[in-house]
Structures are given as structure tokens and as C-alpha cells.
Structure 1
Amino acid sequence: MDYGVEQRDQEAVVRLRGRLTFNDHAKLRALIGEMAQNKAKRQVLDLSSLEFVDSAGIGMLLIAREEMVNAGKSLVLRTAAGQVKRVLTVAQIGKIVTIED
């Protein structure tokens, strides 16, 4: 997994690219730390370039949500497609995290 961050006034958009799997745990933990430290209250994970997510990746997204809540921020998952969208739907992540198309 790779990522890029675009900071806007009240929103930080993080575009995830590639595959989000157990092997990305350390990298995602570092990203979550960056997200908690920036000034934007709304943190958006843009999933449009994410090709694959496994169960560990879903768990990491839930950790990201918990950390953002603890930091007084909101987390939004945006533009999931293909396998990623199917996994988020089956796991019913939309009941816990805001998902935007």
C-alpha cells in the first residue's frame, strides 16, 4: 500500500493505492499517527485506487476510525470500488464508519 495526503481547509484526503493487507500494518499505523496530528477535523480515506483489502486491512480501517474519534476527528471512507466495495459491504462497515460514493 502507498498513499498520498492532500490537505484542505477542514478536510484531509488520504488516497490509498494498491493493496491493504496485514503486511501494511506498520505503514498504516504511521499514517494514522499523521492523520491524528494534522489540523483537519474531517479525515477522508479515498479508496478509489485501492485494489484489494483483506480482513486485517478492514481491522486497520476500524482502528483508524477509533483513533480519529479519540483525537476528536471524523473518518470517512470514500469511493470504494470492486473487491474493496464488496468487502466493505459484506462486513457492514457502513454501520460503523461513514462511507461516501
Structure 2
Amino acid sequence: MEYACETHGNEFHVQVSGRMTHADHRGFRGILNTINEAGSSRIVFDLGKAEFLDSSALGMLLIVRDAAVQQERVVVLKGASGQVEKLIAIGKLHKYFEIA
């Protein structure tokens, strides 16, 4: 997994590319720390360049969501297609995230 983070106004964007799997859990901690430091009210995960997510990746996204809810922040999953979009649908993530 590769990622890039940037702030746009009151939104913090994380663009994910490649494969996001259990092997990325350590790197994901860095993303989580950066999100917490940013303090933006909306966290947008741009999954347009993500090729594959496994169940561990979904767990990592849910960890971000749980932390965000405690801080009254919103997490958005944006731009998913192909296998990633199917996984989001099968996992019924629309119940937990805003989908754009």
C-alpha cells in the first residue's frame, strides 16, 4: 500500500493506492496518528487507486471510524471501484461510513 495525506480546508484526505492488506497494519498506524494530529472534522479516504483490500484493511478502516466517532468526526470512503467497491458493498460499509 502506498498513501498520501493532505488537508483541504476542514477535510483531511488520505489517498490509498495499490493493495491494502494485513501487511500494512504498521504503516496504517502512521496514517492514524497523522489523522489524529490533523483534527479535521471530515476524514476522506480516496480509494480510487486502491486495487485490493482484504478483511484486515476493512478492520483498519473501522478503527479509524471508531476513533473518529468518539471525536465527533465523519469518515468518508470515496472513489472505490472494482473489487474494492464490491467489498464495500458486501461488507455493508455504508452503515458505518459515508460513501461518495
What TM-score does the superposition give when structure 1 sets the normalisation length?
Answer: 0.93
Structure 1 runs not aligned, ≥5 long:
none
Return 5+ residue gaps in structure 2 as ranges. Answer: none
For residues 17-96 of structure 1, the aligned pairs below 5 Å read: 17-96=17-96
Indicate the SS of the match to 2:72: coil
| Counterpart for residue 12 of structure 1 | 12
CA distance in 1, matches of 2:31, 2:46: 13
- SS of 1:49's equivalent in the other structure is strand
Large movers: runs of 4+ above 6 Å? none
Q: Distance in 1 between matches of 2:30 and 2:71?
A: 15
Task: Quote the offset at 1:87 in angstroms.
Answer: 0.5
Identical residues among aligned pairs (%):
34
Counterpart of 1:11, as a letter, is E
Aligned Cα RMSD in Å? 1.0
Deviation at 1:65, TM superposition (A): 0.5
Pairwise CA distance, 1:3: 0.6
Q: More displaced, 33-42 or 77-86?
A: 33-42
Quote the Cα distance in structure 1 between the aligned partners of 2:34 and 2:72: 14
Counterpart CA distance in 2 for 1:71 and 1:36 is 9
